[in-house]
Chain A
Amino acid sequence: MTDNVQVNKDKEQAVIDELDSFAELPDAPPKRKFRLSWVGWMSVGVVVFWLLICIIGPSIAPFHEMDMEGDDSFLDAYSGEYGTFVLGTDYLGRDTFSRILYGARNTIGISLAATLLAYLMGITLGILAAVKGGWIDMAISRVNDSILSLPTIMLGLIVIAALGNSIPNLIGIASVIYATSVFRIARALGLDIMVQDFVEAAQTRGEGIWWIIRAEILPNAAMPLATDFGLRLVFVVLFISSMSFLGLGVPPPASDWGAMVRENLQGLTYGSWAAIWPAIAIASFTIAVNLIVDDISAKSGGSLAKKMV
């Protein structure tokens, strides 16, 4: 034979030892540390900051949100007698800085409450529809479709007009409106997970429906739903703002960031920042929430992708 055989004799013993000693085992359990990137930590900081403001905002504000201290509207920042208006004044001459501190409670409180409520409703019904199927799914889905088909602002207007303009009503209607899209996502995720083998394994074991939902479906649906949560929160903030714009949001003169942007829009033409500051507040809060969610999902997704290689 001229065809030469090459044998890697050096490795021979090592390979066989490895095979015999359960080479399939990765030696140490992988680290399961919860880690965020610096962007993630910064975002956590921003969110914590705003939540803190929700609690202590009114007590550290230099003015009351309704005080019309300034002589004039749309004053520049650090204007006033002793530079008291840190961020200037609004169209009624109220201190913008104080109103943002006061408004945090309304804006963040209402939107968080509404989003959480929307999630509670949407996930419960969505997973239920996915798991039960049949006429239950049909009934819930069609009701959901009909709510989805109504223009959100219209629906909000009618309900608020009928029930009266109050914060609980606002939270209620916003959560119902946004529960519809959460329902859609939850149902789609639920359907996907329902056909997985591990759910079928649980079914053949004879597990009850609630155990399957709690132990098999929800843990697997949690991450995509959390990603959506960040986005949904932004929509709710915008919805509350547009309701305020129409005079049906947070009842004036209480402050709300969305309403502040709207009230002070005209000021932009005079070069006033009164509309910009609350907009920055909204942006910083919602972007921070989204960045946290993204960071978490990127971390878990990333490690998954690496393990697949």
Chain B
Amino acid sequence: MAEDKEKLFEIEGLRISAKNDEGEEVKIVKGVDFNIHKGEVVALIGESGSGKTTISLATLAYTKPGLYFSGGECRLFGKDVLSMSPVEQRDLRGGNVAYLAQSAAATFNPAITINEQVTEAAVLHGRLTQEEANERAIELYHALELPDADRIGYRYPHQVSGGQLQRLMAAMALCGKPDLMVLDEPTTALDVTTQIEVLKAFKKVIREQNSAAIYVTHDLAVVAQVADHIVVLYAGEVMEQGSADQIINNPQHAYTKRLMAAARPKPTSGMGEAVTNEHHRDIDNIEVKDMTAGYGGIVDGEPVVPILRDINVSVRNGHVVGVIGESGCGKSTLARVMAGMLPPARGDVILDGKKLEGSLKNRSLEELQKVQFVFQMADTALNPKQLIGNIIGRPLEFYHGLTGKEKHKKVSEILEMVELPPAFASRYPMELSGGQKQRINLARSLAANPEVMLCDEVTSALDSIVGANVIKLLTDLRNKTGVSFVFISHDLSTVASFADEIVVLYAGRVVEQGPVNDVLDPPFHPYTRLLISSVPEMRIGWLEDTMQKREMAVGIARGVEITRRGCPFYNRCPMAIEGTCEMDTPPLRQLKEGHEIHCHQTIEALEEAEREAQQILHGYEKIGEDDQIPTAH
């Protein structure tokens, strides 16, 4: 029980403020209390702007520039860290309390070997000598299950993978045996498969070292795996706090419930809305045929750096095709080829039955207007020096020749379509929130009145509630306008809830595609199964369960490698057939209508593998029962 444990860190009435232009006080954190006990992981949950990072930094007696402490205490072993002298605070930071930033890639210095960086803080603070620190580091590398643990320290940061670097950062934090670790969104930027790898290592090492930690995230499913105690924040105030079990399984506060509802459910069949036939046409809207593409120019019909190989994808009118896969699989490249930003080396892009030129320079205005690309980051995709009205107005003027009042009226209409007030036309992108910017980003493409919208990870950078709203908007738009979507995402749940068809890409090849309900029902391609098993469930103990699955042992902690022949998934596949899979292109296995799997294993073998996996998890229970999500209400 929590009361029996020693209180390590107490945060009491913490207030943090900033000054605005007029010199008025703006409260960022409005009186927050919580305690951290020894060996306990406390999760701070909230959306952007909830002050979770600001609060976590307060444990280091640090605020971001422009902020200041306006009240309250943060006591480490009963001693207030906020009122410490700078010298004491210096010892605290990196000594007693260690901070793990979100991006390991940005934290490591590329010019210094990993070991030097991992041991630096511990030695600097005099907690260990260099020799002790080196020993401790190797011990931690082993504990974090890093490959080649004895020598990985001699490498440079670019010589290890993203997931490994994230784990090495944990080693850096733990090296000096801190009393408290602060982990700021340590898995948010990672692929699901990498996220599991990192989560598993973090969890193990936290247990073994019996260290206390603050885990900052917006992802409830992740929190369910690691946290003992959860603090739900909104706008700098605690909405609800309690044990992980209670918050996850029995949330009391309406906001927590809202968060749970917006959290990604486990992707299963039947999540999405069925498409109506209202906008049906006989001819495919956009189609990619036998397409091969890559970067670095084309030599003898082959790209110098090949990315996509022999791709066949077609999008029917008014349908949504979701493209999923880990980073580096060529999802964005596919959309860029469709948009004409990257001419393919071989193969065709066909719009309404008419072959399109590979390069957008040679496409007609009408063809350009019909295919619109929506960029991932609204922050960079909107010109900061243009008014929203001009950003949305430009396609209207450019494609449809609207000017003056007509244009103005249409801009208002489009703004209303994306559920924003027409008054926004006279704002600059900087004056909008992230979700609003993404809506403007979509609105600009809508203004062209396109037939196909290529959406590249449009919800990835958004908070869950905001992202869910954007998906809802996209669904409405699809129903209203009959626009087809190619929806690229690494988030399987989002795709499952929005797409009609799914294309699973791995290392530049389609491994499975078909109607969403067929793809998400067994049998799966081994890679699809790895992806599905990697999506965190909001259930305590899920991580341990999923790690028992066979594909996890081989599949996670390995990167995407693009191969020139055979099946690229060979080295991560639990069912790989040596001598065949790495040599020959996998055959296409047609299941139901439109559902195809590219694999050397037979359908029967794939079905058998699924049964086995379920038996390991559930004894002889019926397949599919673990699909049930704990409901939020």
A interface residue numbers (CB < 8 A to B): 1-9, 11-13, 15-16, 19, 22, 24-26, 29-30, 196-198, 200-201, 203-207, 215-216, 219-220, 303-307, 309
Question: How far apart sit A12 and B254, CA to CA, in the bound complex (Å)?
Answer: 6
Residue B548 CB within 8 A of the other chain: no
Min C-beta distance of A15 to chain B, whole Å: 5
Min C-beta distance of A238 to chain B, whole Å: 33
Contact yes or no, B237 A24, CB < 8 A: no
Contact yes or no, B255 A15, CB < 8 A: yes
Residue B151 CB within 8 A of the other chain: no
Question: How far apart sit A1 and B247, CA to CA, in the bound complex (Å)?
Answer: 13
Residue B363 CB within 8 A of the other chain: yes
Q: Which of B122-130, B426-434, B504-512, B560-568 contacts A (4 or more CB under 8 A)?
A: B426-434
Question: How far apart sit A34 and B102, CA to CA, in the bound complex (Å)?
Answer: 37
Q: Which residue of A lies closest to B340 (CB)?
A: A204
Question: How far apart sit A6 and B238, CA to CA, in the bound complex (Å)?
Answer: 9
B interface residue numbers (CB < 8 A to A): 1-3, 18, 20-21, 64, 66-67, 229, 234-235, 237-243, 246-247, 252-255, 258, 339-341, 360, 363, 365, 368, 372-373, 375, 377, 380-386, 394-395, 398-399, 419, 421, 423, 426-427, 430-433, 435-436, 444, 448, 465-466
Known contacts A200-B341, A201-B375, A206-B368; A26/B385 CB under 8 A: no
Min C-beta distance of A216 to chain B, whole Å: 6
A2 partner residues in chain B, CB cutoff 8 A? 1-3
Known contacts A25-B433, A29-B423, A29-B426; A201/B241 CB under 8 A: no
Q: Which one of A12, A30, A220 lies within 8 Å of B253 (CB-CB)?
A: A12
B363 partner residues in chain A, CB cutoff 8 A? 206
Q: Which one of A6, A19, A203, A304 lies within 8 Å of B360 (CB-CB)?
A: A203
Contact yes or no, B243 A24, CB < 8 A: no
Min C-beta distance of B57 to chain A, whole Å: 13
Contact yes or no, A24 B435, CB < 8 A: yes
Contact yes or no, B380 A196, CB < 8 A: yes
Known contacts A197-B375, A306-B21; A5/B246 CB under 8 A: yes
B421 partner residues in chain A, CB cutoff 8 A? 25
Min C-beta distance of A198 to chain B, whole Å: 4
B377 partner residues in chain A, CB cutoff 8 A? 197
Min C-beta distance of A297 to chain B, whole Å: 14
Q: Which residue of B lies closest to A18 (CB)?
A: B235
Contact yes or no, B375 A206, CB < 8 A: no
Contact yes or no, A5 B242, CB < 8 A: yes
Contact yes or no, A205 B398, CB < 8 A: yes
A19 partner residues in chain B, CB cutoff 8 A? 255, 258, 465
19 residue pairs bridging A and B, Cβ less than 8 Å apart = A3-B229, A3-B242, A3-B243, A3-B246, A6-B241, A8-B238, A8-B240, A9-B253, A15-B239, A16-B258, A24-B435, A198-B383, A203-B341, A204-B341, A205-B394, A216-B383, A219-B383, A306-B66, A309-B67
Q: Which one of B368, B373, B427, B466 lies within 8 Å of A29 (CB-CB)?
A: B427
Q: Which one of A12, A197, A207 lies within 8 Å of B381 (CB-CB)?
A: A197
Contact yes or no, B242 A6, CB < 8 A: yes
A207 partner residues in chain B, CB cutoff 8 A? 398
Question: How far apart sit A207 and B381, CA to CA, in the bound complex (Å)?
Answer: 15
Q: Which residue of B lies closest to A216 (CB)?
A: B383
A305 partner residues in chain B, CB cutoff 8 A? 66
A6 partner residues in chain B, CB cutoff 8 A? 238, 240-242
A198 partner residues in chain B, CB cutoff 8 A? 380-383
Q: Which 7 pairs, one residue from A and one from B, show the smallest C-beta to C-beta distance?
A: A5-B242, A219-B385, A197-B381, A206-B368, A197-B380, A198-B383, A3-B243
Q: Which residue of A lies closest to B368 (CB)?
A: A206
Min C-beta distance of B576 to chain A, whole Å: 39
Q: Which residue of B lies closest to A22 (CB)?
A: B419
Question: How far apart sit A19 and B469, CA to CA, in the bound complex (Å)?
Answer: 11
Contact yes or no, A8 B239, CB < 8 A: yes
Q: Which residue of A lies closest to B429 (CB)?
A: A198
Question: How far apart sit A19 and B255, CA to CA, in the bound complex (Å)?
Answer: 9
Contact yes or no, A12 B339, CB < 8 A: no
Q: Which residue of A lies closest to B454 (CB)?
A: A204
B2 partner residues in chain A, CB cutoff 8 A? 2-3
B419 partner residues in chain A, CB cutoff 8 A? 22
Question: How far apart sit A219 and B382, CA to CA, in the bound complex (Å)?
Answer: 13
Question: How far apart sit A293 and B192, CA to CA, in the bound complex (Å)?
Answer: 48
Known: A12-B255, A16-B258, A206-B368. 6 other contacts (CB 8 A): A3-B242, A15-B255, A198-B380, A203-B341, A205-B395, A215-B386
Min C-beta distance of A220 to chain B, whole Å: 6
Contact yes or no, B255 A24, CB < 8 A: no
Question: How far apart sit A4 and B2, CA to CA, in the bound complex (Å)?
Answer: 10
Contact yes or no, A309 B64, CB < 8 A: yes
Q: Which residue of A lies closest to B436 (CB)?
A: A24
Question: How far apart sit A3 and B247, CA to CA, in the bound complex (Å)?
Answer: 11
Contact yes or no, A1 B243, CB < 8 A: yes
Question: How far apart sit A19 and B50, CA to CA, in the bound complex (Å)?
Answer: 13
